[in-house]
Chains A and B, each alone.
Chain A
Amino acid sequence: MNQMNSEKIIKEIFIECRPETLFSFFTDPDKMVKWMGRHILLEPRIGGKYRIDVNGSDIAMGEYLEIVPYEKILMTWGWEKSKVVPPGSSKVEFKLIPNEKGTNLILTHYDLPVEEIPSHQQGWSHYMPRIKDFAEGKDPGVDPWSLAAMH
């Protein structure tokens, strides 16, 4: 289930359940909390935001880009206050492929910033302004979907 290459992480896992069962674990906070995080806020619609308190200090944030029921979820991914992978800087795709015994789940985490760095100049210019601000301790600005907006 483990594969790494230059700019993304790909994981595949077989789960003995129907895609319908699995799919709800990406859209229902009461189910998502069973596998990821402690406190979860989700707006499971295209353009909707999510906020996942992973362990009390790491907060994952982003928005849903694509939702194809029982087949696919694509969301932006980042960690709040992370200098390396800030919110919006990467994307995670979950693909649900049914077979006779259950569902193969394929996770692809795209656009991981650091891997771009040694490889080509394009990566620098794309990611550095953001990384640089954080590294210099500048406030990245008001979180566009602060807690108040999530309530």
Chain B
Amino acid sequence: MIEKVIHAIAEPRRREILNLVRDKELTSSAIASHFEISAPAISQHLKVLEESGVVVVRRAGTKRYYSIRREGFSEIKQYIDRFWDDSLLLLKEAAEEEERRKNESNE
């Protein structure tokens, strides 16, 4: 999923789309109106964004409303978060063990 997110946001127009839908929901045609490229090209970009999990779609009648999905960005952060949790627990064990050893040798 992380790779998909990176792929999705690496394209300048897709980043522009993300900026457009950051604070408000927009229909695909409203999004397309901001660009000079064709509507099918825009809908292809929207599809990539949707599949990577960084936007969500709400369908109402024939309209499709897009908005940002912030959780889509959180996975890498969770990885780092867990990495530090695990590492710090090991550090605590190792440092406390060394401290005990030092204290014993001083007694």
Chain A residues near B (Cβ < 8 Å) = 1-2, 4, 9, 11, 13-18, 21-22, 25, 31, 34-36, 54, 83-85, 105, 107, 109, 112, 114-115, 117-118, 121, 124, 128, 131-132, 134-136
> Is B15 in the interface zone, CB < 8 Å from A?
yes
**Contact between chains at A25 and B2 (CB < 8 Å):** no
- Least CB separation from A13: chain B residue: B88
CB neighbours (8 Å) of B60 from chain A are none
- Choose one: B68, B73, B88; the contact of A1 (CB below 8 Å): B88
Least CB distance, B82 to chain A, in whole angstroms:
10
**Contact between chains at B9 and A131 (CB < 8 Å):** yes
- Least CB separation from B16: chain A residue: A124
**Contact between chains at B19 and A35 (CB < 8 Å):** no
- 6 inter-chain pairs at a CB distance below 8 angstroms, sorted by A residue, are A9-B81, A17-B99, A83-B2, A117-B9, A121-B19, A135-B7
Indicate whether A22 sits within 8 Å of B77 (C-beta atoms), given known contacts A11-B84, A124-B15, A131-B6.
no
**Contact between chains at B80 and A85 (CB < 8 Å):** yes
**Contact between chains at A115 and B99 (CB < 8 Å):** no
**Contact between chains at B6 and A15 (CB < 8 Å):** no
CB neighbours (8 Å) of A21 from chain B are 95, 98-99, 102
CB neighbours (8 Å) of B49 from chain A are none
Total B residues in contact with A, Cβ cutoff 8 Å: 35
**Contact between chains at B15 and A128 (CB < 8 Å):** yes
User: How many angstroms from the CA of A11 to the CA of B81 in the assembled complex?
Assistant: 9
Q: Which residues of B, 1-25, contact A by the 8 Å Cβ criterion? A: 2-3, 5-7, 9-10, 15, 18-19, 22
**Contact between chains at B99 and A114 (CB < 8 Å):** no
CB neighbours (8 Å) of B80 from chain A are 9, 85, 109, 112
> Is B87 in the interface zone, CB < 8 Å from A?
yes
**Contact between chains at B96 and A9 (CB < 8 Å):** no
**Contact between chains at B99 and A18 (CB < 8 Å):** yes
Which 6 residue pairs are nearest across A and B when measured between Cβ atoms? Answer: A17-B99, A135-B10, A35-B91, A35-B90, A34-B94, A17-B95
- Least CB separation from A21: chain B residue: B99
> Is B85 in the interface zone, CB < 8 Å from A?
yes
- Least CB separation from A52: chain B residue: B87
